[in-house]
Structure 1
Amino acid sequence: MPFLDYVLQTPSYGWKDAQQALVKPTAKQIFAEFFSRLNVFKTRKNWLPFFSWLKVICLSAFFILFLISYQYWWTILAAFVYGMIVMGTHGTIWHHRYCTHGAYTFKNKFWRFITQNLTINVIPEEIYVISHHVHHSKSDQPGDPYNAQAGFLYCFLADVNHQPIAKDLGEGCYNRVKLLMKHTGVKANTYQQYQRWGSYVNPWRALLSWLLNWSFWFTAFYLIGGTALAVSLFGAAGFWAVGVRTFNYEGHAKGKEKQRPGVDYNHGDRSINQLWPGYVAGEWHNNHHLYPKSARSGFKPHQLDLAWCYIKTMYWLGAISAYRDSKKDFYRDYHQPYRQNRSS
């Protein structure tokens, strides 16, 4: 089988049925899978999904404290900007365009480290990157880890139920995982360590990285605006951490056919361009599926792309040495032919 067919851990309900159709599990099945995979007492190999949701729970505590004690006009504004724009744009810059698609190249490790830690650490790179390669390979097909046609919960809990790598890969297959992750700078487990922990990243390194990142940003926010700002922005990160899990369900039109002529040009799946995620995170999703390796996905004049603004600025500063930009290809191959067909 192709590598991407088995690199992810198959859920207990499977990806497809005997007729090769998408399995649409019930809510009960999805929750049962979710809690089973979070159970670190069942197997230590469940540590990464548990660790990922532990961070969400910790951030949620900050969000509740923000709601109870720190709602001022300036903290609300700061939380909105940080949670809706900064966190989302960074996710596009780092996890999406760099870690997964390698759409640009850093001049050195220093700038890669700075970009990686520009915001509060939330999503483990391993969970995002490997599964996102599968998503593009099988978009809206059985095996897509966040297939919108299987419902909201299927997508919302995908980081636990569908996105972790398989725990029984052979050494050769695990080495292919390492190749997909090598450029991210996240240090890999040896194959023997992978067999023990069931993950690419070592738990002790992940824990240390988390503690250092959160300590730095809490201290920085506290020095800028005291406890009120620190709690508010950590709470905003928690709001984003939950909200981002809804994106692929919305970005693939809730599994329905909602593509619009002259707006969505990629018809190989159900991805759509949306104004809100486009403006706040540079996530023009249909454009991205059209040119996944492009460092820019906001091709049209009205499609503001803040992630591209960061990448281009870092290129001007010399921190990024190269990037791919598919804007000219988009106009030549899709937009201009569409306009010509309409006028003829």
Structure 2
Amino acid sequence: MQAPRGPLPARQRKLKMGTTSFMVVMHVLATVALLPRFWSWQGLVAFGVLYWVTVLGVTLGLHRLVAHRSLVVPVWVERMLVIMGTLACQSGPIEWVGLHRHHHRFSDQPIDHHDAGRGLWWSHSEWMLHDIPALKELDRYAGDLQVDPFYRWLDRWFLLLQIPLGLGLYWIGEAAQVHGGGIGLVLWAIPLRLVIVYHVTWLVNSATHAFGYRNFDCPDLSRNCWWVALLSFGEGWHNNHHAHPASARHGLRWFEFDLTWQHVRLLKRLGLASRVRTARYVPGAS
């Protein structure tokens, strides 16, 4: 049992209007995308392909590769995967990685920025709408990335990646005379995709600290949640991950399907991944 949390410090109670406004706009546009006038099978395909690209970029690129250095890949592969993850618009890679490493250092403690002890809604998404003190410690937690101009540029301009993507989608939609036109394709592939990816990612912070089972006795609330694992390409095996954060494989039991791990195996077969670190589940041990 965790001690009840007190009220937020005064400096954190005010909403960050930039982040809050952006999230409101994205959710409104995602709802608009679902109107019948914007439906098309091409939009569904664009959504599916970019969902795979974005989620894999987050899970394999930003998370297992960069944040935890669970494997080694050529520089061009790393940068491609990081760009894919940055398409998720979950801040830039330096901020993403720094905050994630901070989360592991203080998981479910009051200093954790999405501390599950403050409740499901806070850990799911409310935390990002307020001041995040951990951002002041990025030098400490992501200093290895801050020395790279590639990462610094992406961290500053990550939102710009959506512009060429949107223009390309609009052109395809108009040229192919897709139902709903270029606007429909853009709505499905950008705001709708972003909102779904947001909530899937946030479920790893919220649902997997509340629902599921534990293979390991970690000093936090992390749990393994099968349905989050399916949506997030294996990130839902969260208790396994918190017990062995450096492991490139999160699904450690035979039934814990980990799609990101299958991509790591593919990279290894292709000679594009080496020094892959993995953990094992031993029944009765924790």
TM-score, structure 1 length as denominator? 0.65
Q: Which residue of 2 aligns with 1:126?
A: 94
Q: Which residue of 1 aligns with 2:278?
A: 325
Q: Which residue of 1 aligns with 2:122?
A: 154
Task: Pick the aligned partner of 1:271 from 201, 222, 225.
Answer: 222
Question: CA 1:148 to 1:105, structure 2 compared with 1: closer, same or farther past 3 Å?
Answer: same
Q: Give the conservation status (yes or no) of the 8 Å contact 2:68–2:245.
A: yes
Q: Give the conservation status (yes or no) of the 8 Å contact 2:248–2:277.
A: yes
Q: Within 2, Cα distance between the matches of 1:81 and 1:266?
A: 36
Task: Pick the aligned partner of 2:268 from 305, 311, 315.
Answer: 315
Q: CA deviation at 1:297?
A: 0.5
Q: Within 2, Cα distance between the matches of 1:220 and 1:116?
A: 25
State the one-letter code of the partner of 1:278.
Answer: A
Q: Within 2, Cα distance between the matches of 1:224 and 1:118?
A: 25
Q: CA deviation at 1:285?
A: 0.3
Q: Give the conservation status (yes or no) of the 8 Å contact 1:85–1:280.
A: no
How many residues align structurally? 274
Q: Does 1:232 align with 2:188?
A: yes
Q: Which residue of 1 aligns with 2:248?
A: 295
Q: Secondary structure in 2 aligned to 1:159?
A: helix
- Percent identity over the alignment? 21
Question: CA 1:221 to 1:267, structure 2 compared with 1: closer, same or farther past 3 Å?
Answer: farther
Q: Which residue of 1 aligns with 2:163?
A: 211
Using the TM superposition, name which of 123-132 and 294-303 deviates more.
Answer: 123-132
Q: Within 1, Cα distance between the matches of 2:134 and 2:149?
A: 17
Q: CA deviation at 1:220?
A: 6.8
Q: Which residue of 1 aligns with 2:144?
A: 179
Q: CA deviation at 1:151?
A: 1.6
Q: Does 1:33 align with 2:2?
A: no
Q: Secondary structure in 1 aligned to 2:72?
A: strand
Question: CA 1:221 to 1:22, structure 2 compared with 1: closer, same or farther past 3 Å?
Answer: farther
Q: CA deviation at 1:299?
A: 1.2
Task: Pick the aligned partner of 1:249 from 188, 199, 206.
Answer: 206
Q: Give the conservation status (yes or no) of the 8 Å contact 1:264–1:287.
A: yes
Question: CA 1:176 to 1:100, structure 2 compared with 1: closer, same or farther past 3 Å?
Answer: closer
Q: Give the conservation status (yes or no) of the 8 Å contact 2:60–2:260.
A: yes
Q: Secondary structure in 2 aligned to 1:104?
A: coil
Q: Within 2, Cα distance between the matches of 1:336 and 1:29?
A: 45
State the one-letter code of the partner of 2:139.
Answer: Y
Q: Within 2, Cα distance between the matches of 1:266 and 1:214?
A: 45
Deviations 1:257-282 (A, max 9, x none): x664xx52133211100111212321
Q: Give the conservation status (yes or no) of the 8 Å contact 2:47–2:188.
A: no
State the one-letter code of the partner of 2:126.
Answer: L
Q: Which runs of structure 2 are paired with 1:33-72 in the superposition (5 Å)?
A: 33-34=14-15, 37-38=16-17, 50=18, 56-57=23-24, 59-70=26-37, 72=39
Q: Give the conservation status (yes or no) of the 8 Å contact 1:221–1:229.
A: yes
Q: Which residue of 2 aligns with 1:113?
A: 79
Q: Which residue of 2 aligns with 1:92?
A: 59
Q: Within 2, Cα distance between the matches of 1:56 and 1:316?
A: 40
| Structure 1 unaligned residues grouped into runs of 5+ | 1-20, 39-49, 189-199, 339-344
State the one-letter code of the partner of 1:174.
Answer: D
State the one-letter code of the partner of 1:66.
Answer: A
Q: Give the conservation status (yes or no) of the 8 Å contact 2:98–2:142.
A: yes
State the one-letter code of the partner of 2:163.
Answer: L
Q: Give the conservation status (yes or no) of the 8 Å contact 1:83–1:240.
A: no
Q: Within 2, Cα distance between the matches of 1:184 and 1:250?
A: 35
Q: Secondary structure in 1 aligned to 2:35?
A: helix
Q: Secondary structure in 1 aligned to 2:79?
A: helix
Question: CA 1:94 to 1:223, structure 2 compared with 1: closer, same or farther past 3 Å?
Answer: farther
State the one-letter code of the partner of 1:296.
Answer: R
Q: Within 2, Cα distance between the matches of 1:307 and 1:185?
A: 24
Q: Within 2, Cα distance between the matches of 1:31 and 1:174?
A: 21
